[in-house]
């Protein structure tokens, strides 16, 4: 199996689906509510179907984990993890920050990731054994050495508020101890921005595998570190993630652990 060839095929597919997304205009009647503050449109669903249909020929008998339940999840050696439109709320409101995220796993290990920023056509990607890339140029995480010099990204929970007081206390801490925090609305892109050094770190909870699988892998291939809030590896299904460069990661993750374990 040539993962570089498959990665290029995924990039081409993502760009094709991205063109579809860009061409669509959403009306209020097109918006559905899956749960509180969790929105979906026919664009999400159609984009996911296009991605699934496009991926099927690349690897025979691969399974799928999809956000919009296009097909039943079947466990296989190879699994595609797909978010057809990460940042649906941004898309609905015309805010140009949303993405397509596609990851491939082999025996529960991510071996390929592609994140396409749809409106700018910036494509971040990597495969097992490769560097990380942005539109064919190698990228790496920043070399910012301290939190005091860092710019961080985060996201806010939209349904799980049980930890929100701790989270807001942590936000206050980082507001005071860093150069700033950005909340842009697509976890996949937040991770991609860490991978290319635009952001020095990212943290969030209440996320799903399709939000982070591709982006987390790209960060790692770009020389960064990724853990859950406790410093472990359960960031894919544990609904919490920390990502950043290795120079500031210890102080960054220690602060998150301190505030979120109270």
- How many structural domains is the chain composed of? 2
Q: What pLDDT is stored for residue 126 in this prediction?
A: 98
Length of the chain: 262
One domain, residues 159 and 133:
no
Task: Characterize the bridge pairing of strands 38-40 and 32-35.
Answer: antiparallel
One domain, residues 199 and 80:
no
**Which domain, by its residues, includes 205?**
147-260
One domain, residues 124 and 166:
no
Per-residue DSSP letters for 15-48? HHHHHHHHH----GGG-EEEETTEEE-HHHHHHH
Share of the chain above pLDDT 90, in %: 82
Q: What pLDDT is stored for residue 42 in this prediction?
A: 87
Tens of pLDDT, residue by residue over 51-86, are: 999 999 999 889 999 987 767 677 899 999 999 999
One domain, residues 109 and 39:
yes
pTM exceeds cut of 0.85: yes
């Amino acid at each position: 199996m040539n993962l570089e060839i498959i990665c290029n095929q995924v990039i081409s597919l993502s760009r094709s689906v991205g063109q579809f997304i860009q061409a669509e205009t959403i009306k209020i009647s097109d918006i559905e509510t899956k749960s509180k503050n969790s929105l979906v449109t026919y664009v999400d669903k159609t984009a996911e179907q296009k991605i699934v249909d496009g991926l099927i020929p690349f690897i025979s008998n691969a399974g799928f984990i999809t956000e919009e339940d296009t097909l039943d999840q079947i466990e296989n050696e190879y699994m595609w993890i797909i978010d057809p439109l990460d940042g649906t709320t941004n898309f609905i409101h015309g805010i140009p920050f949303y993405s397509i995220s596609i990851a491939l796993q082999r025996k529960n290990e991510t071996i390929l990731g592609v994140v396409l920023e749809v409106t700018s056509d910036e494509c971040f990607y990597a495969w097992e054994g490769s560097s990380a890339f942005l539109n064919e140029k190698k990228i790496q995480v920043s070399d910012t050495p301290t939190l005091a010099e860092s710019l961080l990204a985060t996201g806010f929970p939209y349904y799980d508020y049980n930890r929100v007081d701790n989270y807001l206390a942590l936000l206050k801490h980082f507001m005071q101890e860093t150069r700033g925090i950005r909340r842009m609305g697509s976890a996949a892109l937040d991770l991609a921005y860490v991978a290319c050094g635009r952001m020095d770190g990212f943290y969030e909870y209440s996320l799903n595998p399709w939000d982070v699988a591709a982006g987390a892998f790209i960060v790692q291939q770009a020389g960064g570190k990724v853990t859950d809030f406790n410093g472990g590896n359960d960031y894919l299904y544990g609904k919490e993630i920390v990502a950043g460069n290795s120079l500031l990661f210890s102080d960054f993750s220690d602060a998150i652990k301190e505030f979120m374990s109270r």
